[in-house]
Amino acid sequence: MEPAGFVVASDDGTRIHFLDWDGGPEAVGPRPAGAPGVLLLHGLASTAWSWTPVARRLRRAARVVAMDLRGHGLSDAPTDGYEPDTLAGDAIAVAEGAGLLSLPGHEGAAGSLVVAGIGYGAIVAAWTAHALGDRCAGLVLVDGGWEDLAAATEATPAEWLAAIEEPPEVLASMDAWLADRAAFDPATWGIDEERAARAQVVETAAGRVKLAVHPHALAASVRAMWSYDPSAVLPTVEARLVAILARDEDGSRAARLAELARRRHAAGRSPIEVVTFPGRGHNLVRHEPAAVAAAVLSLAG
């Protein structure tokens, strides 16, 4: 099964691209009562294709849509609009345009909506769940979305951007780029992972590659990440919440989750269910797709 690509205009006119794993609302018709909808948000400098291992596991049980965040993939890259409300508005426009949610003033599309994100996408997912209120049934945070990054990293956005810059040898050619991505976890490398890796870069006439995300959009996205205050957002989210945690050598990340769980309890919200993979790296969508899919479906009932 291959997804179909669509574009929807956000409130400010920015065109947001998404992949629909059922061919779009006209192809499948209205969802049956109770059938869940799932909106997937990728990480920084990535694209909707990164969610393919999870989407393939979800599509038989849910309507699955993965979007390109603004400035990424095939979405527009405006010079502004990287604030929480606008980023959440993009995601809601995709959910409504794909038929996962009813349009305002219309009878609702049946079923629940689960929003899931990894890294930067987890932050945008949290803002989206907050904005949706009771229109969102579940929020899945994949190795991100519960940390104050300024405090956790003790770095400025510019310093962090410099630290994650790809080495020149990795960008020397498409072959070098793909070999580097494959080496992260050879056991999970395949056709889907290669396509996701290719979507992250653009090959130049000289044979080198560069990140497909526009530099101004990358910098603006990182500034958005640094503006995120999980203690102000997550206790207000009405949806049920699952957090999937990768490596945490000193236990500090789990401690932050525990503190947020206490804040949610004090606010009368549901607990945070935590799933841990202490031996795994950040990209759990690639490393543990079955577990991520299971977490999404656990909230879709």
Domain ranges of the chain: 4-154+219-298
Distance CA 137, CA 226 (A): 26
Distance CA 109, CA 113 (A): 10
Report the pLDDT value the prediction gives residue 102, as an integer from 0 to 100. Answer: 77
pLDDT over 90 at 1, yes or no: no
Report the pLDDT value the prediction gives residue 23, as an integer from 0 to 100. Answer: 64
Question: Full-prediction pTM beyond 0.85?
Answer: yes
Distances, alpha carbon 179 to alpha carbons 117, 169, 172, 208, in Å: 26, 11, 11, 14
Distances, alpha carbon 214 to alpha carbons 27, 107, 207, in Å: 33, 38, 19
Q: What is the DSSP letter of 106?
A: S
Report the pLDDT value the prediction gives residue 107, as an integer from 0 to 100. Answer: 52
Report DSSP letters for 44-90, one per residue: TT--GGGGHHHHHHHTTTSEEEEEPPTTSTTS---SS--SHHHHHHH
Sheet holding 4-9, edge to edge: 4-9, 15-20, 63-67, 37-41, 113-118, 138-142, 240-245, 272-276
4-154+219-298 folds as: Rossmann fold (3.40.50)
Distance CA 21, CA 64 (A): 6
Q: Is 80 exposed, middle or buried (0-12, 13-18, 19+ CB in 10 A)?
A: exposed
Interval 104-163: pLDDT, tens: 655 544 457 999 999 999 999 999 999 999 999 999 999 999 999 999 999 999 999 999
pLDDT over 70 at 24, yes or no: no
- Structure confidence at residue 31 as a pLDDT band (50, 70, 90): very low
Distance CA 221, CA 39 (A): 19
Q: Residue 206: left if φ>0, alpha if ψ -120 to 50, beta else—which one?
A: alpha
pLDDT over 90 at 300, yes or no: no
